[in-house]
Structure 1
Amino acid sequence: MVNYCHFFGCTNQSDREKHLEFYRLPKVLKKPERRMPKTTRGTEALVVIKMSCISHIISGKKADLYLKDDPDWVPSVGLIGQQGGSPESTGETRNSRYKCRMARTQQKQKTEAAAVAVGDDDDDDDDDDDDDDDADVNAATTTADDVDDQTNEDASRSYGVSSNLCCIGTQTDLTGDVIEAMTAELQSLRTENIRLSSDVAHLSSTYDQSAFVDNDVKVLFFTGLPTYQILLAIYTFLGPHLPVKKSLDKFQQLILTLMRLRLNVSTTFLSYAFNVSIATASRVVSDVIDVMFIRMKPLIVWPEREQLQKTMPMQFRKHFGTKCVVIIDCFEVFIERPSNLVARAETWSSYKHLNTIKFLIGITPQGTVSYISNAWGGRANDKYITENYGFLEKILPGDLIPADRGFNIQTALACRMAHVKIPAFTRGKSQLAHVDLETTRKIAHVRIHVERVIGCVRQKYTILEGVLPIDFLMCKDSDGYCTIDKIGLVCALVNLCPSVVDYD
């Protein structure tokens, strides 16, 4: 479509002058108050041209609709047939008038300032001098008023804009006391602003990475990890896989999640601590736990027999030689009471007399966690979990497994040519035989280490000591894992801490 310039005498068109730009101008509306917003009323009736080329604009770019005092608000260059009928350009004249008007405004302000200064300096002079000075000030004021009237007249004729200039009569006299009070209030507000800005910066930097550098005490308190170097290694390992959030960086997301596991604080507290919403804090915990569950699985590994034999602690060598491969036990975590009766029955623990979930954990003689199962209902017994979750598949012929009395799995291990060592029973006996007593003492002496590891896990990550919400058991991902199964992997973080078993 070819655009034509609608100004009289201009023959520019878009298909021929391709270097020129054409602008469509608004048309006059019969009832603008119905179709135009209030901010545009009074401006639309001043423009009646449909299309204009850029050659009629001084700066080469159209002005905004609301800047009526801009010389380019309407085309003004090369117009023929205006009032006066002269074909020469009027754009330069309009621009020069605009500059002159601004110069007169500045000169008027300087004249007023000089008049005020003259009035203040001559307050202590004689009456005759005061009369002369007043005459000078009145003359200056009269001159300023004349300039103001001329300026307003020119502005109204050229652009329809009135000037909001002040004269000496509109100035306010401030006493010294008022100025001092305003200065004191301003200083007080500045001091408060600096203090609040400092508090905000301190709160925002409390959980930044720089706040944990070379501060092992803070790292241990908030994350349960012994040193900053270990925390940095975990962040380097997990960082590329963490989600990107606008409100939190990746390091803060990791710290927020570790605080949830370590301190067992609510997401409401975390939202206030990190200045985010509760929903954001909850999503961050869920996302980071998902990443940790996938990436930190290699930290829980079943060692080879040769490695176990080379690093077997002396107290295990003394009692069991080099055959001991793992010490197993179960620990329970309290949960909220389910509303479903079947779930309530499956999670009822006859030992704790509360609704719980149960984990099967195994540690090596060196004190590292080598096995952790998914969460089971508190009603499941230790033998059932051991035989039905794939633990026996890791056992080799000749392996020895110290365990508690509940792990009566000798029949299942016999098929793999392995055996379990459990304390002797006094069932049907008045007392234990000397041999059984000595065997039980040896088993208890090494079994205490798995209890220490479980206690270390609970102490470092107190979320396992509290009552877990029922939502942790209900939300499952595509692989069938719920949140509590993933939280159980925090045992992998214990492997990064010093072992509870001495090698000597």
Structure 2
Amino acid sequence: MDLAVRFGPRRCSQRSQLKCKGSLPKSFEEFASARIAMDATEVIQDIPSDMNCQSLSYSSYKSRRTVNAVTCVAPNGALVFSSELYPGSTSNSAIVDHCGVLNQLQAGDLIKAGKGFNIFDKLPSGVSLNIPPFLSNKAHFTKEEAELCYKIGKARIHVESANERIKNYDILNHIPAQYRHLSTKIFQLCCCLINLQAPLLKEIADKYEI
């Protein structure tokens, strides 16, 4: 179940690209082809009674049992996609591959994401991915790499802010076992409600002031 505000079908893609470019905030000026900023967020859950589920739900990154989702925000700050919730051990790359978000993109689109989204081998033809560079065997980034990290981080802060708003809903602080079968619907409803709040970006909000 994707958000009601998810991307439209492919025949609408060109129109959506133009809409994105027509509302680019300053932080995206150097990434004019950006379509989405992508990130992952997690929700804490009760320990499942089933041993296999216990193992699958354990997030080594968070050192606790969680369920995770991938969320995507348009350059103007609108939350445009949420995946279902997946067991905490599921990698970001695996979620992206399974949830179908890449099928909503077309040639010329650019994805902004963090280092945890090394999904170059999964991209549709013509779709680009921009993630911060890795240090590898180097001790420090070059000046150009450091500047790129800063620019990418500045452009990605919107999706991080959206995720923070999502998790401000108390019901997502901890989903008890009796609601586990509804957890994805609960999470995605909270995502939908985010778009009914004031715009994330001041320069976008200013356009709606009376």
* TM-score in terms of structure 2 length: 0.88
- Length, aligned pairs only: 196
Kept in 1: contact 2:67–2:86 (CA 8 A): yes
Contact 2:27 2:151 in 1 (8 A): no
Cross-structure match for 1:410: 120
Say which SS state the counterpart of residue 374 (structure 1) adopts.
coil
Rounded Cα–Cα distance in structure 2 between residues aligned with 1:454 and 1:297: 14
Show CA shifts across 1:440-479 (max 9, x none). Answer: 11001111111111111212x12112x2112222xxxxxx
2:18 to 297, 306, 321: 306
Give the deviation of 1:417 after TM superposition: 1.1
Number of the residue aligned with 1:420:
129
- Point out where structure 1 has 5 or more consecutive residues left out of the alignment: 1-292, 474-481
User: TM-score, normalized by length of structure 1?
Assistant: 0.38
Determine if contact 2:38/2:73 at 8 Å carries over to the other structure. Answer: yes
Q: Which has the higher contact order (CA 8 A, sep 6+)?
A: 2
Counterparts of 1:378 and 1:453, CA distance in 2: 20
- 1:3-42 to structure 2, matched below 5 A, reads none
Counterpart in 2 of 1:500?
200
Any conservation in 2 of the 1:313–1:502 contact (CA below 8 Å)? no
Structure 1 position 383 matched with structure 2 position 93 = yes
Partner of 2:186: 487
> One-letter code of the match for 2:153?
A
2:157 counterpart of 1:445: no
Q: Matches of 1:297 and 1:432 in 2, distance apart?
A: 38
* Alignment partners' CA distance in 2, 1:436 and 1:339: 46
**C-alpha displacement of 1:297:** 4.8
The structure having more radius of gyration, on CA atoms, is 1
- Structure 1 residue identity aligned to 2:177: I
Do the aligned partners of residues 428 and 323 (structure 1) sit closer, same or farther apart at CA in structure 2, a change above 3 Å counting?
same
1:449 to 1:403, Cα distance in 2 relative to 1, 3 A: same
Q: Distance in 2 between matches of 1:503 and 1:370?
A: 19
Q: Partner residue of 1:454?
A: 163
Indicate whether 1:373 and 2:83 are aligned: yes
Structure 2: unaligned runs, 5 residues or longer: 9-15, 205-210
Identity rate, percent: 27
* Structure with higher helix content: 1
Per-residue CA distance 1:185-218 (angstroms, 9 max, x = gap):
xxxxxxxxxxxxxxxxxxxxxxxxxxxxxxxxxx
Conservation of the 8 A alpha-carbon contact between 2:77 and 2:159: yes
**Hey, what does 1:393 align to over in structure 2?**
103
Letter in 2 for 1:301: R
- TM-align CA RMSD: 1.7
In the TM superposition, what is the alpha-carbon distance from 1:488 to its structure 2 partner? 1.4
Q: How does 1:77-116 map to 2 (within 5 A)?
A: none
- Deviation (angstroms), 1:412: 1.6
What amino acid sits opposite 2:6 in the alignment? V
* 1:129-208 alignment runs, 5 A limit: none
Q: Distance in 2 between matches of 1:301 and 1:351?
A: 28
Distance verdict in 2 for CA 1:297–1:358, change over 3 Å: closer
* Structure with the larger strand share: 2
Q: Contact 1:369–1:491 at 8 Å: present in 2 too? A: yes
For 1:485, give the aligned amino acid. T
Q: Does the CA-based 8 Å contact 1:359-1:375 persist in structure 2?
A: yes
Matched letter for residue 386 of structure 1 = V
